[in-house]
Amino acid sequence: QVQPVESGGGLVQVGGSLRLSCAASGSIFSINAVGWYRQAPGRERELVASITGGGSTNYADSVKGRFTSSRDNAKNTVYLQMNSLTPEDTAVYYCYWYVQPNIGSRLRTYWGQGTQVTVSS
């Protein structure tokens, strides 16, 4: 069983920075994609950033140039560096791991528990 655990959320002022981490424990045979979603009150969950198994990154237009996602394969950890934060970035951020847990098993998505990011003006 793969279990992602997030950390790093909190309260920050406009223009500030935060770094989220998401460490996945358990068996991972191969990674198809990892990344981050967020959900603000009253809004649908949206994809913020993703990293493919080959290392290619994609970002939502709203965060391009401000957010950077990276992955440490040795630590099974994915990061989201968030700079120049605005109140519109306030949301619960969820990491996900889309992986093949064991050889021969199907691809599955595992979610972190979510971490609150609040940007105050």
Assess whether pLDDT exceeds 90 at residue 1: no
Give the chain's mean pLDDT: 96
Q: Quick check: 15 and 105 in contact, CB under 8 A?
A: no
Q: Where are the alpha helices (DSSP H) in 10-86?
A: none
Type of residue found at 24: A
Measure CA 114 to chain center: 9
Assess whether pLDDT exceeds 90 at residue 118: yes
Q: Token pair for residue 79? A: 């990061």
Query: What average pLDDT does this structure show over 4-10?
Result: 96
Share of the chain above pLDDT 70, in %: 100
Candidates 89, 87, 69; CA nearest to 21 is 69
Strand 115-120 to strand 10-13: parallel, antiparallel, or no bridges (unpaired)? parallel
pLDDT higher at 11 or 121: 11
Nearest-angstrom CA–CA distance, 64 and 82? 10
39-63 residue pLDDT tens:
999 999 999 999 999 999 999 999 9
74-89 residue pLDDT tens:
999 999 999 999 999 9
Residue 60 has phi, psi (to 5 degrees) of -65, 145
